[in-house]
Structure 1
Amino acid sequence: MTETEADTCRRYVVPALQLAGWDTDPHSIAEQRGITHGRIVPVGRGFLRKPPKRVDFLLRYRRDFPLAVVEAKARYKSAADAVQQARQYAEMLGLKFAYATNGPEIIEIDYFTGAETPRTSYPTPAELWSRYRAGAGLADDAAADRLLAPFNHGVNKDERYYQQSAINRIVEAILQGQRRMLVTLATGTGKTTVAFQVCWKLWNSRWNRDGAHRRPKILYLADRNVLVDQPKDGIFAAFGDARCKIESGEVVMGREIYFAIYQALAEDSSREGLFRAYPPDFFDLIIVDECHRGSARDDSSWRTILEHFSPAIQLGMTATPLREDNRDSYRYFGNPIYQYSLRQGIDDGFLAPYRVHRVVTEWDAAGWRPSQGDLDRYGREIPDGEYRTQDFERVIALRARTQAIAKHLDGFLRKTDRYAKTIIFCVDQEHASEMRQALAVLNRDMVAQHPDYICRVTADEGDIGRGHLSRFQDVETRTPTILTTSQLLTTGVDAPTCKNVVLARIVGSMSEFKQIIGRGTRVRDDYGKLWFNIIDYTGSATRLFADPAFDGEPARLTEEELNEAGDTVTETEILVEGAEEEPEPGEGEILEPPGEERRKFYFDGGQVAVAAHLVYELDPSGAQLRVVRYTEYAAESVRSLYPTSRALRAAWMDAAQRSAIVQRLAERGISFEQLAEAAQQPEADPFDLLCHLAFNAPLRTRRERAQQLRTRQPDIFTRFGPEGRAILEELLEKYAAHGEAEFVLPDVLKVPPISNHGQVADIIRLFGGADQLRAAVAELQEQLYVA
């Protein structure tokens, strides 16, 4: 019973693996390999990370090609006790072999055959690789060698486990002759990295469709310049002069890695498609990024391009799971050969959780109706009718609403961080311009310091807008801080430090919604970017979060009510568990129609206030979506740990167990500071607050508990002499005023009034030594909670 898992690994597993030949390559055995980063959990106004998941041993045939996991238990347990964990990790990593052991006993799990088999030793690397080839149907030696081609480790230090799985799964499918493939990876999880490494392995191993001794010709295809320029000039720069971009009507034949947008290749009534200048069998592989955006539709003009190059293997990449609005992509490319969802990314700690703020103006809540004879800014009479959120900025532009939204957002940034990078999605380019102007007026001080503090980035800005965007994406720059846009930034814009995603327009589809919120899902620990806000002025986020198909719940919901001036009147916090617009040719913006006829009315009068502000937060336990008050959620969490107040008290009296309780509640997202604020009980002792909320016990303040101790145990302070008694009295008073943080030794001894008794060493001598002082303070804390 004294042996641990570490003993099993050291005394049994490592020698057995070495005997089987797994130590011949320095990369063969990865011990205590971390595979996740640990989920980010909101705690009060801060966050913590849960411990990452680790496998005991990862067995790799090559550095970039793992074959199996080994999970160990202590010697006194059985190997069967490790089976479920071994299976869990093998399935996460997409491996076909797993081993469970307690040292002498070994159980092999073979996913090709479905068998669990006792063994007396581990297979050799060559044996396991041979079995993998047989199970995967890789009889051809050349194909097997290409699958083992190394990644490029100069551009990425280490691929995440799901990226490695996706890369190897794609290459294996290509080598097996699969013609069309689909990979679904949530926004922010590195689709570009996956695409690059697939190309790198195939290019360096000289794979091509006809088996000739040449490198493959690969086309990277998307619908926006930013989606091809970023990878071409970024990670794909490793290909050097093998790259080129097809543009400006120029036909280039002598390169190997091509980039293009559909619009550069497509045909229309005035021109023949440039794609016809290339033979149908010119490309070996076509990678279609953001393939859900229309190229696979039967009636899409872009579909002709894919059909022309039908001899090529075609790989579709998307961030959107199967839904009605992207069914064509799945029909064309087939079911995904690999998927990694937003929920998985948040659970693993690779993606940032988020708080959703639902803000409702009075006109969005009740509708807006013009008064008789109201004229717009161009002197046109506004048709009578009741206009709703879906009409705002499309049928009727309401300047007062735009200004109310701008004022609320400005107040939000002033309360949080005025340099927090923010993207505002507006209805169209004109709306984006109005929003930029309204915010600029409210932020004259910032604009005076930084002329590019607020910028519009739409198709109209061209290179200027792309310059703003490039600086916004740079983690080292503070400005531009706020970008207003409409459609241009919904897809493929990597902004690692974006902390606020603002919806000032209705988002019609789940596909687009996931793309938009993906602007904030990147995590950058080194820049303090662990979470982000979604500020929703149209109800899109809360409506789509309620969709059962959504797989990444919000972290917090707040509801804020605004008055006519745009000021917050009330704010309520609730804890929550658990038709896409086609881009126009070029850059995906909704452009103004030609001619002088305006497509909407512009009303510049009236006053509007924010009527409500809700905040949603993701339940850290990962349960299903539900709406509960923060205090109710905390009460349920306490009862799940301790069924009675007596059980909670017994644990709370012990300092070590008390720390464990605080940690376990923190991992569930519960902060005592925030809980006291939500319950409007700032003076309550944390223990009493928990008992009151969870078990309806009487609520006492810290001062009442301190006074009760003085009355019940008057002699607790007398045994250490007058000065020692005075120090303990002062400690108790500090607790009554500020809480248990005042019991931290030796820090509390260094501040008045206790520091007035002398240096730390002098105070320790008053109690007869450090151990005696610690014991006295521990007893003081324990006695506080006796009754």
Structure 2
Amino acid sequence: METDKSLLSEEDIKHRYITPALERVWPASDIRMELAITAGRVNIKGNMEARERPKFADYVLYTESGHPLAVVEAKDNNHTISFGMQQAKAYAQMMDLPFAYSSNGDGFVEYDFLTGIECELSLDAFPTPAELIARFKEEGHLTEEQVRVIEQPFYVSEGTFAPRYYQRVAVDRTLDAIARGQKRLLLVMATGTGKTYTAFQIIYRLRKAGLGKKILYLADRNILVDQSIQQDFRPLASVIHKVNYASDDRTTITSYEVYFSLYQQLFGENDEERFRELFRPDFFDLIVVDECHRGSAKADSRWRKILDYFDTAIQIGMTATPKETAYVSNIDYFGEPVYTYSLRQGIDDGFLAPFRVINVQMNIGEGWRPCKGQRDFFGREIEDRVYNNTDYDYNIVLEDRIREVAARITNYLLHTDRMAKTIVFCADEAAAERMRHALAQQNADMMKKYPNYVVRITGSDPYGKSQLGYFISVASPTPVIATTSQLLSTGVDCKMVRLIVLDENITSMTMFKQIIGRGTRLRYDEGKRSFVIMDFRGVTRLFADPDWDGPIIEDPGFESGEGEGKPTGGGGKGGGRGGEPAVKPFVRADGCKVYTVQETIAVYDTDGKLLKQENVIDYTKENILEQFGDLHRFIHEWNAAEKKQAIADALATRGVDLDKLKHAMKMDDVDDFDFICHVAYDQKPLTRRERAEGVRRRDFLSRYSGAARAVLETLLESYKDLGIKNIEKTDVLRMKDFQKFGTPEHIGKLFNGKKGYEEAVRALEQELYKAG
């Protein structure tokens, strides 16, 4: 009897019809089922974060060399054969694949991106790998070099991960452009999406294809070079050399294959072009320019001289911020990007962390004017004008403002996590030192335990720079807070940073994106699921700028020096008043009292649009009222709940984490019941200890005797420390305090069985929440 397909689920259709049809012509080892393309966006909801379901392709078909070629989307037989085509095409476009298929078990519909032709195939007519590969080569008009590059596998070994879909696309597009003869290429990938790993895969496959024997990787910071060599490029360690002009032997330096160099090593102190001494102009086949937004393409820069000298080499620029400015034009030099993977895409796909913004407004934010004849700490009269956020630390230093900023940072960490890695971006290196000192004073308890709890990490601070490796290490708990001006703004891989503090005037969208990028790395399983931006200067107004994660626009003022400016204070480093003062006025706390007027919490979407601006307490109250209604109804729901955990779970679905919020409000010793009543219904809360004492006062325990009473007394003591959600779990009976009563089974017998024990616990709970 023939099966009625309309009664079968999608999984049945796949198992009985689609999978066998594919495996008849395609090796099973080259078919990946239920392949996760994205990781699933992390959404911020209240004071919690939750992942969406990733995007999965039902089938992805690979070539023998490990490259995906086609997507197949399956539907049940109640849909038409072509019903899944739109989804298949969307996934194929994401993954840059030439073929997409849809099936309902009756046959296949094929869409060929190379020809634009959509056609229907019978179930037994699915093309073989050889047929699809031949069509791909012919319809794509691929040259022998393109084919040779395409056929090179990615580097994958034990302990390493296969490239994510966008990394694979970035590598493939770059290699294809090189195979077609393109000499200058630009890759745009948001911070935290693996630019260095992508560069490694490009170099690895080029070398395997015989198209890149001598390769130079350029960067402008030692940490970037060392990170790359020690991490992503480790598989090539035997052929890598880090250029050191002072110690390199000119006769042997050319014997290596992959060179890493700082620009400083290729120039002397007086701009002598050392690279001419070390290498012939045609020595390198490929040059990769890391973080090429920082001046590598500027016509009169040192970096450009290097690129011009090695002009026969293929040159790849890599950046997270392609926006054109007065200081750099990536597109002008490298051309349009061969691939762009933006911050917006990274957050949407769940590979980058979303963020909250805390805007801190102070009483002096919009303006402070000194009193008539007011003098600073040095006895000099302070210029009579209105100072504002663009002046503080740039043209005038207010001691109490520094204290207040440090206090707000400390207060946030006190209410969340004292060990959360934090970067504070300051006006300059001197401001970074003042902030370090203020934070050290505010966190004396942590400084006693961890002398390096707060450090300044700036370009001129050797000790601070020596701590950079520990700060960015996932394994090292300290330093926790790093104050800086520019050193940590770009390139440095800060995996666990959870708080970014903006106390620097930033007008450059490029710089803003780079700084935001310090927090975007996602470590979901290790607890870093989002990060917070604390803004003291109104810098996050840039989210409203059309250029936030927007299109790449070449600035016509690039060569003339016009266009977007550097971070400034008061209209420029000198406040637009003839240059920066030789010594800034320094106003002590008694000369200008500073306090916070308001803090607002905002959540933005990936387009920079404001989704909501709220106080977490207000959000919690609103959701409690929506869930439970008035106080009477809440108390009824609470008493009716067989397990009080169900109340916390119900609020968690609305984005309210009661334990986290209690900790933030320093109410860890308060029961969930009292906390909810306090936040939502303005009731005076009792501590768990007070509730336990009420039970004793009303002599509830006299209902029981002997060991049973002793068990309940111990349970009441445990309630003081653990709370109601924990004592209602039978696992509590396995804790050390209960071992004297025997096993949980033996304890149950004291109450005439498990049911009797549960009834006793239920009675204890009812007594705990009695009024009075």
TM over 0.5: yes
* Counterpart in the other structure of 1:394: 394
The whole-number CA distance in structure 1 between the counterparts of 2:476 and 2:652 is: 33
Identity of aligned residues (%): 40
1:112 to 92, 104, 114: 114
Secondary structure in structure 1 of the residue aligned to 2:315: strand
Gap change, CA 1:445 and 1:665, over 3 Å in 2: closer
Give the conservation status (yes or no) of the 8 Å contact 2:432–2:485.
Answer: yes
Matched, 1:539 2:538: yes
Gap change, CA 1:272 and 1:151, over 3 Å in 2: same
Give the conservation status (yes or no) of the 8 Å contact 2:46–2:654.
Answer: no
* Counterpart in the other structure of 1:612: 597
* Counterpart in the other structure of 1:145: 148
Structure-1-length-normalised TM-score: 0.74
* Counterpart in the other structure of 1:593: none
The whole-number CA distance in structure 2 between the counterparts of 1:624 and 1:105 is: 44
Residue by residue over 1:571-594, the C-alpha shift from the partner in whole angstroms, topping out at 9 and shown as x without a partner, is xxxxxxxx45499xxxxxx9xxxx
Matched, 1:17 2:2: no
After TM superposition, list the pairs within 5 Å mapping 1:118-129 onto structure 2.
118-120=120-122, 121-129=125-133
> Partner amino acid for 2:586?
Y
* Counterpart in the other structure of 1:440: 440
* Counterpart in the other structure of 2:332: 331
The whole-number CA distance in structure 1 between the counterparts of 2:605 and 2:750 is: 46
After TM superposition, list the pairs within 5 Å mapping 1:305-320 onto structure 2.
305-320=306-321
User: What is the Cα deviation at residue 173 of structure 1?
Assistant: 1.4
* Counterpart in the other structure of 1:645: none
- Which moves more between the two structures, 490-499 or 233-242? 233-242
The whole-number CA distance in structure 2 between the counterparts of 1:272 and 1:262 is: 12
Gap change, CA 1:59 and 1:610, over 3 Å in 2: farther
1:191 to 186, 191, 195: 195
Residue by residue over 1:683-726, the C-alpha shift from the partner in whole angstroms, topping out at 9 and shown as x without a partner, is 999xx99xxx9xxxx99xxxxxxxxxxxxxxxxxxxxxxxxxxx
* Counterpart in the other structure of 2:458: 458
The whole-number CA distance in structure 2 between the counterparts of 1:327 and 1:305 is: 16
The whole-number CA distance in structure 2 between the counterparts of 1:9 and 1:530 is: 35
Gap change, CA 1:764 and 1:113, over 3 Å in 2: farther
The whole-number CA distance in structure 1 between the counterparts of 2:13 and 2:60 is: 16
Residue by residue over 1:748-769, the C-alpha shift from the partner in whole angstroms, topping out at 9 and shown as x without a partner, is 999xxxxxxx99899999999x
Secondary structure in structure 2 of the residue aligned to 1:48: strand
Over aligned residue pairs, what C-alpha RMSD do you find?
4.9
Give the conservation status (yes or no) of the 8 Å contact 1:64–1:164.
Answer: no
After TM superposition, list the pairs within 5 Å mapping 1:208-227 onto structure 2.
208=212, 215=213, 217-227=214-224
* Counterpart in the other structure of 1:507: 506
Secondary structure in structure 1 of the residue aligned to 2:312: coil
Secondary structure in structure 1 of the residue aligned to 2:467: helix
After TM superposition, list the pairs within 5 Å mapping 1:341-490 onto structure 2.
341-369=342-370, 371-377=372-378, 379-462=379-462, 464-490=463-489
User: What is the Cα deviation at residue 343 of structure 1?
Assistant: 1.5
Secondary structure in structure 2 of the residue aligned to 1:281: coil
* Counterpart in the other structure of 1:625: 610
The whole-number CA distance in structure 2 between the counterparts of 1:290 and 1:281 is: 24
User: What is the Cα deviation at residue 494 of structure 1?
Assistant: 0.8
1:8 to 10, 13, 30: 13
> Partner amino acid for 2:25?
A
Gap change, CA 1:75 and 1:623, over 3 Å in 2: farther
- Which moves more between the two structures, 322-331 or 469-478? 322-331
1:43 to 42, 45, 67: 45
The whole-number CA distance in structure 1 between the counterparts of 2:749 and 2:101 is: 55
* Counterpart in the other structure of 2:587: 603
Give the conservation status (yes or no) of the 8 Å contact 1:67–1:97.
Answer: yes
* Counterpart in the other structure of 2:238: 241
Secondary structure in structure 2 of the residue aligned to 1:307: helix
* Counterpart in the other structure of 2:636: none
After TM superposition, list the pairs within 5 Å mapping 1:267-282 onto structure 2.
270-277=270-277, 278-282=279-283
Residue by residue over 1:242-287, the C-alpha shift from the partner in whole angstroms, topping out at 9 and shown as x without a partner, is 212223355532221111222332467x342112233222211111
* Counterpart in the other structure of 1:96: 98
Give the conservation status (yes or no) of the 8 Å contact 2:73–2:102.
Answer: yes
The whole-number CA distance in structure 2 between the counterparts of 1:672 and 1:453 is: 29
Give the conservation status (yes or no) of the 8 Å contact 2:506–2:567.
Answer: no
* Counterpart in the other structure of 1:496: 495
Gap change, CA 1:354 and 1:471, over 3 Å in 2: same
Give the conservation status (yes or no) of the 8 Å contact 2:367–2:387.
Answer: no
Aligned residues: 678
User: What is the Cα deviation at residue 126 of structure 1?
Assistant: 1.5
The whole-number CA distance in structure 1 between the counterparts of 2:64 and 2:599 is: 51
The whole-number CA distance in structure 1 between the counterparts of 2:229 and 2:360 is: 39
Secondary structure in structure 2 of the residue aligned to 1:339: strand
The whole-number CA distance in structure 1 between the counterparts of 2:647 and 2:285 is: 58
The whole-number CA distance in structure 2 between the counterparts of 1:130 and 1:616 is: 56
* Counterpart in the other structure of 1:70: 72
* Counterpart in the other structure of 1:555: none
The whole-number CA distance in structure 2 between the counterparts of 1:764 and 1:161 is: 60
Gap change, CA 1:465 and 1:675, over 3 Å in 2: closer
The whole-number CA distance in structure 2 between the counterparts of 1:90 and 1:224 is: 38
Structure-2-length-normalised TM-score: 0.76
* Counterpart in the other structure of 2:635: none
After TM superposition, list the pairs within 5 Å mapping 1:775-786 onto structure 2.
none
> Partner amino acid for 2:199?
A
